[in-house]
Structure 1
Amino acid sequence: MNRLLLCTIVSMCALGLAACASTQGGAGYGAAPGPQPTQKIFERDAAYIAYVERTARMRGIDVRWVNPPVKRVARNGDSEAQ
C-alpha cells in the first residue's frame, strides 16, 4: 500500500512539473499595445440607493449601507483627449 501511494505521489508531482514547464513557451508574448478600449469602472448606483432609502423611509426603516450597490460605467480609455 505504501509503495502504491509513493508511486502515485511521485507521478503526480512529475505531471505537475511537466505541465508548469510546458506553459512558458508563449507566455511572454502579447499583442502590441494600442489604443485602450473603453474601461469599465464602478460607481455608486445613486438611483437604486435613492429608491431603497425612499421606500425604507416610507416604511419607517433606517437603512445603513455597509456595501453600497455599485454599477459599471464605461469610460473612454483616452484620458488625454478630454
Structure 2
Amino acid sequence: MNASLRIGVLSLSVLGLAACASTDNRSAYVEPAKVSNPGDVRIVRDEAYIDYVERNARRRGIHLQWVNVPTKRVTNE
C-alpha cells in the first residue's frame, strides 16, 4: 500500500510538471526593435561628457588619460 501510494503521488507530480512545461503562451515575448539604416548613424566623441570628467579630474588634482574615448551615436538629420 505504501509503495503504490508513493508511485501514485510521484506519477501525479510528473504529470503536473509536464502540463506546466507545455503551456507556452508567449506572454514574455517582446518584438525586436526596428534597426535604422546604418548609414544614418555616425559615431562621434561625446565632448560634453569628456569635458565634464576632465574638469572634475583637474579640480581634484587627478591626471587623466583616456584609453577608450567616450563616444555617442548621432543620427544624420
Structure-2-length-normalised TM-score: 0.48
More helix by share: 2
Higher alpha-carbon Rg: 2
Structure-1-length-normalised TM-score: 0.45
